[in-house]
Amino acid sequence: MTDQILTTTAASEDARAALMRVRTEVAKAVVGQDAAVAGMLVALLCRGHILLEGVPGVAKTLLVRTLAAALAVETKRVQFTPDLMPGDLTGSLVWDAAASEFTFRPGPVFTNLLLADEINRTPPKTQSALLEAMEERQVSVDGRPRPLPSPFMVAATQNPVEYEGTYPLPEAQLDRFLLKVTLPLPPREQEIEVLTRHAGGFDPRDLAAAGVTAVAGIDDLAAGSAAVREVSISADIVGYVVDIARATRTSPSLSLGVSPRGATALMATSRAWAWLNGRSFVTPDDVKALAHSTLAHRLSLRPEAELDGVAVGSVLDSALASVPVPR
């Protein structure tokens, strides 16, 4: 029994070290954006999906490609457009003349890391097909369920500025994303570093030349996910998470507060964050650190609050401040 515990602990430590090396590898190609890298690792450990929001040109696509290269997993990118059909995403039946039968041709959703670029540019019918694949981890074609590879994560992006010709994700669909991370424009020093790298010959299409190598794998992710499930969370911390969720439901500025699914997501991401930071238990600081990226996109402001210029982040800060922190 003792040997089994020691083996499990060693596997957990090895997995954590490997995922820490992933952050170093990503930094070889992507300057800054540490919050987005950490968020994607947390989402992978929790078997969830992530929504990346940022203006064009802040390295969203490069980030996903570099992370996939560092983890040695397959990645595919789909540019969502108004005429994209569900079959273009999930796959379809194609007539095979040689065999005289229909055969299934898998779509780009059959991958480990799917970059759904500008998800809000495609109609709800196609959005729903992707969200079904996210939730069920399978697609149904001609009545037959076809399981997706494991691990499977969707990193969806949307542009926060341009709304013309878009189909905004409704709250019920936003709730399916474990995390939402905003990729800001880089500060001056980081932007100088980006241009310096390009002046030195950096090619974002050739990650191998940038020195990016696979430093972790699917086994490390599986061991990490198993270790995260073993992270202890006290009754006080569980109560703290529930009280935060309930505080958002009573806020006068919000028409929609955090659902029980959102509270469960905050507990899961807090455990993953605690494990990544080398702890086997969750602290209130872990909950606070992941509260905004886990909960903010699940909240909906009242129209009058929007007219008054109230921001979701400030409402969430007020809810966090109103809940006593367990000692």
The pLDDT profile of the chain, 327 residues, written as one tens digit per residue, is: 554 555 567 778 888 899 889 888 888 888 888 888 999 999 999 999 999 988 888 888 889 899 999 998 888 999 998 888 888 888 888 888 887 788 888 889 999 999 998 888 888 888 888 888 888 888 887 778 889 998 899 999 888 776 666 788 877 778 889 999 988 888 999 999 999 999 988 888 888 888 888 888 899 999 999 999 999 999 999 999 999 999 999 888 888 889 999 999 999 999 999 999 999 999 999 999 999 999 999 988 888 988 888 888 899 999 999 999 987
Please, what is the angle between helix 218-229 and helix 60-71, to 10°?
90
CA gyration radius for the chain?
Answer: 21
Question: Could you tell me the maximum CA-CA distance found in the chain, to the nearest angstrom?
Answer: 70
User: What phi and psi, each to the nearest 5 degrees, are found at residue 76?
Assistant: -140, 150
Strand, coil or helix: what is 269?
helix
The residues pairing with 102 across neighbouring beta strands, listed in sequence order, are 95
> What is the homologous superfamily of the domain 231-327 according to CATH?
Magnesium chelatase subunit I, C-Terminal domain (1.10.8.80)
Specify the pLDDT at position 236: 94
The secondary element (H helix, E strand) that includes residue 320 is: helix 312-322
Q: Indicate left, alpha or beta for 202 from its phi (over 0: left) and psi (-120 to 50: alpha).
A: beta
The residues pairing with 92 across neighbouring beta strands, listed in sequence order, are 105
| CA–CA gap between residue 302 and residue 304 (Å, rounded) | 6
| CA–CA gap between residue 62 and residue 271 (Å, rounded) | 28
Q: Supply the CATH classification number for the domain 25-198.
A: 3.40.50.300
In this prediction the pTM is 0.89
Q: What residue spans in the chain does CATH classification 1.10.8.80 cover?
A: 231-327
| CA–CA gap between residue 275 and residue 253 (Å, rounded) | 34
Q: What residue spans in the chain does CATH classification 3.40.50.300 cover?
A: 25-198
